Structure 1
Amino acid sequence: MGGLFSKDDELTQEDLEELQEMSNFNQKQIRRLYKRFKRLDKDGSGSITLDEFYSIPELVMNPLNIRVIGLFDPECEDVEKVSVNFKQFLKTLSVFSPNGSKEDKLKYAFKVYDIAGDDLIDEHELFSLLKLMVGESIKTHEILYIVEKVIEEVDTTMDGCISFKEFCNALKDVDLEEKMSINI
């Protein structure tokens, strides 16, 4: 991308066309997201770090924020060292565009739960994430019971894990287009 992070700090028409091609956003939305990105990039480095992500109130309030932030930079093995450039930022947020497909939204949601990245959600992963979501408000044995019941209900292959197909089937009646869309 020619003008991205150039000294005039504006996106060129070439940049906008390339970014539009790789995302579900139009050029006006991309410009707005770029301005937001620049505001988040407090040190002007051209990337957003974990601390800078934590300046987003909605993200801080999300109990799964570490998982969500980690998915912006999936190559980074230590979320504490995450460094997300604008392309990564835009590509990830593209899933949340009202124009994003239901399948992409499902894939993203599945990745949040698939901590090991092995295309399966096992009881340990489900327990860990449920524990993050409920904190101390529910006792461990109650969370274990919930995990057992979810696996029992969703796991049609009876292998003790939830596959992407099973995950999709469990969420088939959920309006992901509304629940996983942002207004730009």
Structure 2
Amino acid sequence: MGCISSKQIKYTHSYEDPVLLASETSFTVSEVEALYELFKKLSFSIIKDGLIHKEELQLALFQNSNKKNLFADRIFGLFDAKRKGAIEFGDFVRALSVFHPNTPKSEKATFAFRLYDLRHTGSIEKVELKEMVLALLSESDLQLSEDIVEAIVDNTFKQADSNGDGKIDEEEWEEFVTQNPAILRNMTLPYLIDITMAFPSFVMYSETNDADIII
């Protein structure tokens, strides 16, 4: 993919310098510039203001701008770093960088932990994990019985909750994903190295077994 000259780009008010963003993320300058063209396309898909709103992100992820889903809400919330109700270009690049193949696993683990910490308490509780498992299953069109979902949650806590207090803190989570690296595989999108104009899907239709479908 050829580099897009910065002279060709029509900037919006949320634009940030590609060189600065490349220095802060796993992307190269040319990849950041390509992402800006993608950002513009998304940010004018419904509300034409140069920002990505929740409906626009959901349309890109799930081809449905009105679908209500916890997973979509969590992804939007983590991308909307400034809590403005809309995603600026810099926030888009910084959050997407977590999924780059060259991003350290420790950063991916931290992002995944925040994804599951629904109530922002600094820990993951069983009810939060179950809610996210159900949301991910819904997006992946997978049907599992209540017993199997409960077994997934219980098995995860059996492995991860090392102090037995009924919740997984960040240190326990880091140890858990170190011992089970496959859990973070959906935190890497290989084609971000060679970005195209097709928005990468965060819903990975997995070839997994029941035990590791939670991520």
**Equivalent of 1:50, from 47, 54, 57?**
54
Instruction: Output aligned runs, 1:1-184, within 5 Å.
Output: 9-10=10-11, 15-42=17-44, 43-57=47-61, 64-76=71-83, 82-135=85-138, 137-172=143-178, 173-174=180-181, 179-182=186-189, 183=192, 184=195
Aligned partner of 2:203 in structure 1 is none
Aligned partner of 1:5 in structure 2 is none
Deviations 1:27-55 (A, max 9, x none): 10001100000000114412100111123
CA RMSD of aligned residues (A): 2.8
Q: Which consecutive unaligned segments of at least 5 residues does structure 1 have? A: 1-7
Taking structure 2 as the reference length, the TM-score comes to 0.69
Q: What one-letter code is carried by the residue in structure 2 that aligns with 1:147?
A: V
Q: What one-letter code is carried by the residue in structure 1 that aligns with 2:78?
A: L
User: Aligned partners of 1:129 and 1:167: how far apart in 2?
Assistant: 16
Of 134-143 and 113-122, the range deviating more from structure 2: 134-143
Deviations 1:89-124 (A, max 9, x none): 011011112221111111111111110111110011
- For 2:181, what is the secondary structure of its paired residue? coil
Of 127-136 and 26-35, the range deviating more from structure 2: 127-136
Residues 133, 149 of structure 2: 8 Å contact kept: yes
Of 63-72 and 89-98, the range deviating more from structure 2: 63-72
Q: Using CA pairs below 8 Å that are at least 6 residues apart, which structure has the higher relative contact order?
A: 2
- For 1:116, what is the secondary structure of its paired residue? coil
Question: Kindly, what percent of the aligned residue pairs are identical?
Answer: 26
- For 2:163, what is the secondary structure of its paired residue? coil
Q: What one-letter code is carried by the residue in structure 2 that aligns with 1:65?
A: A
Q: 1:143 to 1:98 in 2, by over 3 A?
A: closer
Residues 115, 125 of structure 1: 8 Å contact kept: yes
- For 1:138, what is the secondary structure of its paired residue? coil
Q: 1:75 to 1:87 in 2, by over 3 A?
A: closer
User: Aligned partners of 1:73 and 1:168: how far apart in 2?
Assistant: 24
Residues 108, 187 of structure 2: 8 Å contact kept: yes
Q: 1:103 to 1:10 in 2, by over 3 A?
A: same
